[in-house]
Structure 1
Amino acid sequence: MTERQYRIAGAADIGGTNTRVGLVQEDGKIIRMLRFPTPVTGTAGDIPLSIARAIHDIAGDIPLAGLGIAAAGPLDIRAGILDHPPNIPFDTVPIVVPLMEETHLPVIFRNDCRAAVLGEVCAGGASGYDTVVYITISTGIGGGVFTHGRVLTGRGGNAGEIGHFPVDSTYTFPCTCGLSGHWEGFASGRGIPVFFKEWCIAHNLPCTMTIASDILQLSITDPVYSGFLDALAQINGRGLSAVIVAYDPDCIILDGTVIQSHPDLLDQALLYTDRYLDLPDCKLSLLHGDAPLIGAAMAVFHPEMI
């Protein structure tokens, strides 16, 4: 009996610091991958050009079914561009047209979290669920929603920006978007140090920590600061509550460096999650941070799902 030959797609996950490019089988297995710094000092066109070169380098003569691209928003999937990305110093970044010209492949372009939820459904822990929400708690907080066989995209591909759900009106410091009270502003890798500083001021405690992981470790080991963990749990509980009432999912998959490094944050948040609707299955991703890359490739194989 011969081994099954899987189709292969090229995929890229564009981040503000690094870009990952890979070859992914239709069963979700990554067979080749490389990482390089996202070009930020030349022109916006250097970003798709670097991806095209990387695809040529790792694919060689391997025939590809297409190319899937995932990137942090905001983006415009109709125009095929990144639109004023906050972590990349260009007003707009053309993606689809230059990559089609350079690779001669069909290109599908999606937000990284929208791609990630497809990766989880097709090759991760969300297989078999009807409605799934993927949440990443990392440098920022983002989300992707899959329901009734399709990924929810919205007008321009930005549906599911759950990091900007309002979760608090007590503190007034701004989120990364400039407004206040948003989930990302409190509980992301960027937001935790800001929240911790404000919490310390409110409780007349010295604040010497400025890195999220150090703050979380201090809150675990020092009883004086343990109250911050509880405050953070309340914020995360409100965020999860908003996700549940907004989308009524069967499953929530959590990912990202903050939650993967501190999985107890999920259990603590669930203590403060509203039970207005039944609590869905909530679990951590098992795709080792590769859900956006895998999902970008799955969009090539399953265009009917996006």
Structure 2
Amino acid sequence: MPENSAATSNGEERLNPFSRRDDFSSQHLLLYKITTGVTYLLLLVTAFYYTFNSPHEGKKHHHDSPDGKHHHEYYPGQSTIWGQNSLHPTPYSQNFIITSIYWIVLFVLQLVYAWSLYSSDSVYVAAAGNIGAHYLASNLLLFGFIHLWVRSHFWLAELLLIVNFLNLSLAYFRHSTTPRLIHIGTVSGPLAWNFVALYWVGAVAVHKHPENLIPRIVANIFIWGILGYGVFFLAAFKDYTIGFALSVLAFSTGVGQFFTKLPILQLQWIFAFTIGGTLFLLSLAVGVPGLLGRDPFKRGEIVDEDRERAPLLADD
């Protein structure tokens, strides 16, 4: 009976793409190689296209100009990714340059993940395989999010972000010791953005504008959640990568807020810069000693030379 139970459990693990494994069959790896390439290009091309173009399908409205000519324009709710950011300013609107560079870096690091599937190093192959299902799900959810966002379906876009937040959180807590470069590109970097995006898209969905006093006061309070979220990972997992990621996104929010109306009379940009600076300094305090081989805060085992390239965080 125990043997049958073990066999059943083994079979269930094989069928569950999110289960943790120590090795993967060649067929399984081939499937990940193909689907990784397809979903990576799908998301990359979609993000690039809608950064510069708005949707061209859907509802149109018609009008006659004073010269008597008949004109038609596309439904005004459709715009580019950053066009929506400008059309719907909120206390969480970001700077498009900083956040775009942030995502370019993530896309480059995700190539390291794709390369890991072809690596001869079993540590990288196992890590990439275990992250694989979460990464594929994230790509597809973000692909759907972009299409909904540029078409002004903000509540549905927020719903996909919530699902992806749960997906990436599960990936993080189950695979927190993934090799650093894979971890940043596929887990901590996207998770940090997803958390901040929940604020950004949620604020647009409820139509709260920066000039309204009560929503801005609420936003002034809730923005500190970014600091609390970052401190949690720095304290619990000693993960400076998510600390630095949230720091960059907080600075992006600060710059975005600074260029809204009456920045001197608003506090959001000051809070965002304060949060970004605090997270940056705390991340340095956590990350630099470990990289130098010193740990004055006794945060656990120092990663030895043989394991430096494999785990991101301490195992304890």
Report if TM-score (shorter chain) is over 0.5.
Answer: no
Q: Which has the higher strand share?
A: 1
Q: Which has the higher helix share?
A: 2
